[in-house]
Structures are given as C-alpha cells and as structure tokens.
Structure 1
C-alpha cells in the first residue's frame, strides 16, 4: 500500500500531533486533502497546534483530542470519537513519544513512564484502531515512529532504547500479521528519524543545531518513502548520511554474529575495529 492509494475522503489520526514530527505530518496531510485528528496530552499545545493547522489548507477539517496514549481506554475512546466524526480512520501515525532520560538502576517510575508512552502507546493505538481499519476494507497505513536508538542501542538512555527497540519488533510483527490476510488493505511502516529538532530533543536550546533536520524535512522525506511502499523509513540528517547509519546498524548486528562484547562499538578493545569498518564501508560507496 502506498500513500497515493488512500481514498480522497481519508482521515489521519496522529498521536503526539501537537508538536514536532506529528504536527509537521498533520500539516502536510491537510495540505494533501486528508482530514486530520491530532491527539496529545498537552491541552495548551493542542490548542496552539489546532490554530496553526487551520491555516494549513483552504478548508481544513481538523479534530483535536487530549489523550494519554499510555492508557488503553483513552485510545479506544479516541477511535470511537474519530469514527463518530469522520466515519473511521485510514492513516494512523503512532508518534507520541517522550525522552526524559533514564539510568539503568534509576527509578522504576521513570521506566514505566517512558515505556508506557513510547511502547505501550504504539501497542494501544494499534490495537484500538487497526481492527476497524482492516474491517472497513479501504486502503490505509499505520506508521509507527521508532528511533535509531532502538536499533543500535547506544549507552546512556536504556529506558528509551528498550521502548524503541520494542516499537521496531512490534511494527515488524504488525507488518507480517497484516500481510497474512489477502483481503487486508492496510500496511505497516516504521519511521526511523535521524536527529530532528523538536521539543523532545531541544534540551533548552532555542535555535536548531546545524546537525539537525527540521520536523518538516523529516516528513518530506517520509512521504515519498511511503509512496514507494517502504517499511523501514531510515532518515538521514545534516550530520549522519545513510551510509554511516548502515555501517552502524551492520556493526550492531555483527556483535551477535561475531560474538563480540555487547555494544562493542563503545568497547575500548573494539573501538578501532569499528572505525576501520566504517572507513571500509565509505571506501566502497
């Protein structure tokens, strides 16, 4: 399924839609003629986002909902509300995410919060919306926002890494499940952003770092990849090209195949070998 297969009266639901990538996606989808519901747990940010979206298209159809995606009943209610307002959902973007920081032996409450939003939010959203999307028989897309940290799992923020690794595994299982039904017209996709300047990553900065992409650049990269039917949408940024991402991912997988120490990229006995591996890859490109 590609983006152009969506019917003219299609509806998109975007969690974490009041800022960052979610808001940029909402704006682009409105410009393409979709009806859009943005869900977020920040009421003030939702109100500001709605006002900005109403300027994004000549006659935008916009719905907002204050939702905590870590609560399954909240997503079930949202699905009912969207169905009542627009007749159903055709594009679901499970995008809500947080990154407050974590430590391996840090408070359990912090781990529960991160995993509750980043992983359970994707699971709850999919379980609430996907059955109805499939049953409608219309073409549609489910896009889950992952992270490179869920693939290469660098040291420093283990709760976030675990949550995003779970999103990857869940999205892969979802894609497989959907394609088992020959009548199903819904496809799953995993968005893997690079460094994007959003409220999540700003960390007090008011000016975008040169290395970062804007949310709009990320969405403008994503849409053609959806058009092509890609499952893994691996985004570069102004600092890391795709070739370097590929080498980092291959090295991480090689830890298992070669039986190297865990996270050997950051292990003093393997750091030089990793750098040589990257250079070899660049030499072939």
Structure 2
C-alpha cells in the first residue's frame, strides 16, 4: 500500500526532474496516476524527459517548468504553477550538484554548491510547507540526502557539509511536523547508494551500458515508494557493491569517533586502518 500522499490526480513536484533519480521518481509517480510538475534548468533535457514520459504513459498529466533552484523568482514560479495545477501532496527535493571544494578552497564554489544543495531546499520547504499544513490532507516532503552527509568521507568537504546540513534540516522538519495537532504531513530523507546517473557518470545517455556496481535510478525510485509506504524517515538504498550491513558498520564507526574520542574521520586514519577492518568483519 502506498503512502497516503501518493494519490491519483494529486500533484507531485520534482526538482532536477529531467534526468537521473529525479526523472525515475517522476516516472514512478506518473505510473501511480499522479500529476507531475517537472522542474529543471536544462530546457533540452526537460523536453526530452516530457517526451519520454508521454511515450511510457500517454495519459500522463505533466507540467514542465524551466527554472533554476538558486533563483527565488524561479522557485516562486514553481510554487504558483504547482498549486494551480492541482492538489499538491508530494514534494521531491532532488536537484543537487556534486562539484565541491576542500575545507579552505574555492569559496565561490562553496557558496554555489550550498545554494543548490541546501538553501534551495530550505526555500522550497518555506514556500510549500505552510500550504500543505493548511490543506489538512496527507502529504510527504522528500529531501535527497547522501551517505556522504552521514559518514562525511574526505575528498569533497563542500558536498559532505551540504548533505550533512540537509540531513539535520530534514530531521528538524520531521520533528516539528509531528508536533502539529492532527498532522498528516511526513518528511523523509532519501539516501541513495551508488547510482547510475549523470552525476556519477558524466556524459552518459539513454544508450549507455550500466556497470555492475551501481543501482539503476529506477531501483532508487522503487525503494523510495517502498520506504514511504513503511513510513520510514531514513530511506536507505543499497547498491550492488555495498550491503545494508556494511553501510550500518560504517555509520556506527563514524558515530563512535565522537563517543570514543578518536581522531576526526578515523576510518581513513592510517593508525585505525586495521581496527576498522576488524570492526566491519566482526559480528557486533
């Protein structure tokens, strides 16, 4: 059984909907009979997405909107177009970028990445949440997190910071919604694993062959609907290389860095290499 927010002829808003996980989620929601607002900044890819969806679902009700998540004007346009399209009940904050910077490098890239990966989502929540509350009907807000926002590996500080901040924001949103009398709105953090998308495989297209390791974006979309139906907040996705058990071990080790006062990111510290390997192989 689906989450009650996924209702035929209700409106789902998907950002970054032209390709990858966003497109896969849009397609899955079309299959459920929802009206879908597809928001993206690439007009060519957006038109291709609409054409593909109509081939798959000839009766799909689609509203493509060209815009940039870092533009307040674009997001206000998205809000008004979506609420005029019908009864909005699903928000999918998928748009994001991965090109980041180190902890003392490229301040302008830091600002841009945070605008896309964090501030735009906060602004969309600010635009839509009160509207959903006033409607008084079941709704779901889904933010796209990352395992890098939980274990925060070295190498892309800006991206990890943006996704760690988004994790906390979504946790706070979920808690505050639960405090409302007769609340019917839920918040969720979708946490993809290694996925075959243009973000991870630049230059890929419809005919590109998927390597063995990553999941397809459609598997992530299916996992999202499964997680929503179970009312999971943390909707973790696996891939074909990393099991749920290994993910949990990595997260536990990260949490224990604070509890045991180990060096920051000790999983990648030479002195803890053997201890970490022993830990993930243990049955604790």
Distance in structure 1 (CA, Å) of the matches to 2:73 and 2:275: 49
State the aligned residue count. 281
Between 1:64-73 and 1:234-243, the stretch displaced more is 64-73
Consecutive unaligned residues of structure 2, counting only runs of 5 or more, are none
1:209 aligns with one of 208, 211, 223: 211
Distance in structure 2 (CA, Å) of the matches to 1:52 and 1:8: 20
Distance in structure 2 (CA, Å) of the matches to 1:240 and 1:246: 10
Distance in structure 2 (CA, Å) of the matches to 1:16 and 1:180: 30
Distance in structure 2 (CA, Å) of the matches to 1:134 and 1:41: 28
Show the 5 A alignment for 1:58-77: 58-77=58-77
Q: What's the TM-score once normalised by structure 2's chain length?
A: 0.95
Secondary structure of residue in 2 paired with 1:166: helix
Report the equivalent of 1:174: 173
Report the equivalent of 1:185: 184
Report the equivalent of 1:144: 143
2:274 aligns with one of 254, 272, 275: 272
Contact 1:96/1:118 (<8 A) preserved: yes
Distance in structure 1 (CA, Å) of the matches to 2:30 and 2:119: 27
1:47 Cα deviation after fit:
0.8
Show the 5 A alignment for 1:104-119: 104-119=103-118
Contact 2:11/2:85 (<8 A) preserved: no
1:16 Cα deviation after fit:
0.6
Contact 1:71/1:124 (<8 A) preserved: no
Deviations 1:65-117 (A, max 9, x none): 1121122332222111111222x411000010111242222211111111110
- Say whether residues 1:157 and 2:156 are aligned partners: yes
Consecutive unaligned residues of structure 1, counting only runs of 5 or more, are none
Q: What's the TM-score once normalised by structure 1's chain length?
A: 0.95
1:2 Cα deviation after fit:
5.7
Distance in structure 2 (CA, Å) of the matches to 1:107 and 1:236: 32
